[in-house]
Chains A and B, each alone.
Chain A
Amino acid sequence: MLHRITTLFAEAKDLNTHRIHNREFTLEVAYIGSLVDESKVSDYILVPFTKEEQSFKTILETNPSFKKIEDPARWAGNLLRGFVLVKLENAIYMLDAARVIRNQNPIAEVESSVQGPQTALSEDLIDSMNLIRSRYPSAELKIEEGTVGTLSMTRMLLLYDQRRVDPTLLANIRNRLKEVTHEMIGAVGELEKELSSPRRALFPTMIITERPDRVARALSQGKLVLLLHGSMFALILPANFFDFMHAMEDKYESLWMTNFLIALRYLSILLTTTLPALYISVVSYNPELFRVQLAFSIAGSRSAVPYPSFIEVFLMLFLIEALIEASARLPRYVGSTATTVGGLILGQAAQQAGLVSSIMIIVTSVVAISNFVVPIASMSYAIRFLKYPLIVLSIFFGIMGVAFGLFIYIVYLCQLRSFGKPYFRFLGNITKKEGDIGQVNAR
C-alpha cells in the first residue's frame, strides 16, 4: 500500500508513511502530517499497537472509528481530507483524524443584532451542525453530504426538514448541484452564482447568512440549507425579495418600531436607486416638477458648477463608491483614516471649490447611507448597482426615463423565479380553499 501511495502523490514532505512491527503484526500507516491531528494518530493507532494490551486486529474490527475501505481509487481523496489509512493483513481501514483550523466561537458581525443570539456559524461543518441542531431539535432534519468543485472537492452539507420540504424543489436543487462543474468552490457566494439561474441575475435568489437562528427558521419553513466546509455562511433557498429586507432582529424587537423600520427600508432602497437619477432629470430636464422655491434653491446651489448635472453625479458617485470600497478593503486601523479624509473631501471642500453643488452632496450621502439599511449584504450589493442604469436613462429621457427604469426593474423582479418559486409578488391572503393562481400548471 505504501509504495502505491508514494507513487500517487507528488513528492511532499508532509506525506508520512510508516511500516511498524510488533510481535504479532506488521502495520502500514499513511497520512498527511499537516492535515491530521498527530496526537489522534498516536492515541488511536501507535500506542495501542505497540502496547499490545489487546490484539490490534480486534481493535480495528470492533472500534467503529475505523472504517474498512475497499476501493484503492479512494485512497488519495481520503488522505487529502485528513484520514489516516491503516493496512493490516491485506485489510485497509481508515480513521478520521482531521485537524481543522477554524475561527473559534465566532460572533455574528455581518448580521449583528442587539438582543438576538450572538453566535455565528462556524467554518467547520461539525460546529455549524452543532449550532443548527441545537436550535432545530427535530428528528425530521435530514442531512445529505456531498462535495462541490472538481478540484477543491469542498465538503458540503444539504439540510432540510424531510416532512416540510417541497419534493420538486429538492429534486431541482439536486440536479442543479450535479451541474456545478467549477474547479474551485471556496465560499457559498461562489456556489450561489453557480446555482442561480439565469446566471447573470441582477438580484440574489438565495440568502447568504451567518446566523443559526435564520437557518433554523428557514428549515422550519421547508427551505433547503447548504453549508460549505471552510465558509462560515449558509445558503438558504429558495428566497423571495421580501426575505432579504427582513433582519432577524425584526422578530425580537417591539412590533410597531420594527414594522416602521421595514417600511423605512423599502423607502431607503427607493431613494438609493432613484435619487441620483432624479437629480439629473430635475436639474437638466424638468425643473418645473418641483415647487418654484425649491427649483430656485437647487439652481442657486448649482450656480458655481460649470458642467452638466450628469458629470457632477458621476464625479460624486465615483468618489463615494471609491470611499466605500477603500474602507472595506483597507486593514481596520487604516480604514478610519480613509473615511475621515474622504469625508472631508466629500463634505465641504468639493462644494466650496465649485466642483459640485451642495444639494448633490446631500444626494450622495443619502444614497450611500440608505444603501446600507438592507440587512443582507448580497442584496445590498445588488441594489448598489441599480442606480447606474437609471442614471443613464435619466440622462436621455429625464423623469420619464426614471419611471421607465423602475417599471423595467419591477417587471424583472416579477418574472424572476427562485427555484421555480415566484421571487417578487404580493402575497395577500391566499386561502387553501380558494387556491392560488398558477396552481393548474404546478400540479
Chain B
Amino acid sequence: MNRYVMYNFVMVSLLNLMLFVPNILFQYRYHGAVSSLIAAAVIGPLFGIVFIRTITKYPGKGVPEILNENYPRWVTVPAFLFFALMWFSAASITVDAYAVLINRFFNPDANVLVILGVMCVICLYAATRSTLSMLFIMEIMLLLNVPLIVMLLVKAGGSDQMNWDAIRTASNYVQSMPKLAPLAAATFIFTGYLNLSIYNRVLPPNYKFKRGYLLPVFGIGVLATTYFIPIGLHGIDGVSSYLYVWSATSDSLAMEYGFIERVLFVFLILYLNLTLIYTASGWHQAMEMIKSCFPKYKPSIDEHPVPRSNYVIVSVFAVITVAALYLLNEKHLTEFTSYWLIIRMFSEYGLVIWIVVHTLLRRGAA
C-alpha cells in the first residue's frame, strides 16, 4: 500500500513549520542555507528510498523485531529507548509550540498550560489506539487537510505581493558552503520515511515500493515553498524578525470571497489538525519502541480493547510535555529544537545505515 508510506512522508514534510525549520534556515540565509537545501534534497530522498526498500524486505516486522532477533538485549534496549526519546521529543516540541501559537493568535486570554493540557489529553487518546487505527486516522486527516494546505501554499506563491527580487537575492547566496544546522533542519523534511520502522508491521507481505520519484519531487516542492515564499513576502531582511514566520506569512494573505477573510485562521486550523496527528503518531511510535524493550511483549497491530500499558506510557509522555512548557519558554524551545534536529539527523542516518548494513551482511551470510 504505497499511499500509506506516502502519507507518513507528506505529514512530516508539511509539519516542518512547527519544528522551527524555517527559522533555522533563515538564520543562515546569508551563510549556506540555500546550498544546505540543495544538499538535503540529495541526501534526504537517497536515504529515504534506501531505507524503505530495505525495511519492506521484512514483511510484518518493525525495526524492534528485526533488531531484537539478531542482537543481544543490552544493545537493543538502549537503542530503542533512545529512538523513543527522539520520537517523543519531536512530537512534544510540536505540541508545545502549537499550544503557544494558539495562545498568541487565537485565545490570547487563555492559559497556555490549559490549552496544552487539553491537546495532550486528545493526543493521549489518539496515540493509545492500535497501529492500524493510527494509519486510518492519519489517512483521513491528511485527505481532509492536505488539499487545503496545498491550496494555501499555491495561493501564497501566486500572491501579487510576492517580491521575486528578494527570492533571487536569497538564491544568490548559493555559493556559501552548507552548514550543519541548516542541513539538519532541511533534511527534516524528508524524515517521514523513518515512521516505517513501526508502521512496516502493518504493510502487506507482498508490498513493493513504487513511485519513489515522488519523494524528491514533493520534498523539494515543500522545501522551496517553506524557504522562499516567506522571503518573497517579507523581504530577505524582514523575514528574520518573526518567530512564527509562517503564521505571519499566511496573515499577509486575504481571501476576498466567502465568510473568512484572513487566511491565518484557516492555516492555523489546518496546522492544528496536522500537529495533533503528528503528535499522536510520534507518541504512538515512541510507545511501541518502549513496549518493545520488554522481553515478553508481542507486537499486535490491532488490539481491542486498548491495553493498559499504552495509557501508562503515553500519560508519562503527556505529563513530561506539559512540564516542559511550564519550565521552558519559546526561546529555550527553539534552541532545544535546533540541537534536536542535529542529533536527529545523525541518529536517523545511523539507524538507516545499521538496518541496511545488517540486511546486506545477512544476505552475504546466507
Contacts and interface: CB of A to CB of B under 8 A. Distances in A.
A70 interface: no
Contact of B202 (A292, A422, A438): A438
The contact size tier of chain A is: 35 or more
Nearest to B200: A440
A62 interface: no
A291 B122 contact: no
A238 B3 CA distance: 26
Nearest to B1: A437
B107 A425 contact: no
A414 B136 contact: yes
Interface in A267-320: 285-286, 288-292, 294
Nearest to A413: B140
Contact of B140 (A403, A410, A434): A410
Contacts of A408: 122, 125-126
Query: In this complex, which of B3, B136, B139, B300 has the most chain A Cβ atoms within 10 angstroms of its Cβ?
Result: B136
Contacts of B207: 434-435
Interface stretch (A28-36, A354-362, A392-400): A392-400
A408 to B, nearest CB: 6
A124 B125 CA distance: 45
A440 B272 contact: no
B273 A403 contact: yes
A404 interface: yes
A285 B103 CA distance: 12
A400 B115 contact: yes
A415 B122 contact: no
B100 to A, nearest CB: 13
Contacts of B276: 404, 407
A440 B199 CA distance: 12
B129 A414 contact: yes
A441 B107 contact: no
B135 interface: yes
Interface in A107-135: none
Q: How large is the interface on B (under 10, 10 to 19, 20 to 34, 35 or more residues)?
A: 35 or more
A398 B118 CA distance: 13
Contacts of B202: 437-438, 440-441
Contacts of A439: 204-205
Contact of B204 (A198, A291, A407, A440): A440
Given A398-B106, A440-B59, A425 B115 contact: no
A88 to B, nearest CB: 56
Contact of B130 (A397, A415, A435): A415
B47 interface: no
A432 to B, nearest CB: 10
Contacts of B118: 397, 404
Contacts of B125: 408, 411
A434 B115 CA distance: 42
B237 interface: no
A290 B140 contact: no
Interface in A387-443: 397-400, 403-404, 407-408, 410-411, 414-415, 417, 422, 424-426, 428, 430, 433-441
Interface of A: 198, 285-286, 288-292, 294, 397-400, 403-404, 407-408, 410-411, 414-415, 417, 422, 424-426, 428, 430, 433-441
Interface of B: 1-4, 59-60, 102, 106-107, 110, 115, 118-119, 122, 125-126, 129-130, 132-133, 135-137, 139-141, 143, 201-208, 259-262, 265, 269, 272-273, 276-277, 280, 300-302, 304-305
20 contacts: A285-B106, A289-B262, A291-B259, A397-B110, A398-B107, A400-B107, A404-B276, A407-B276, A408-B125, A408-B126, A411-B280, A415-B129, A415-B133, A424-B136, A424-B140, A430-B1, A435-B204, A437-B4, A437-B132, A441-B302
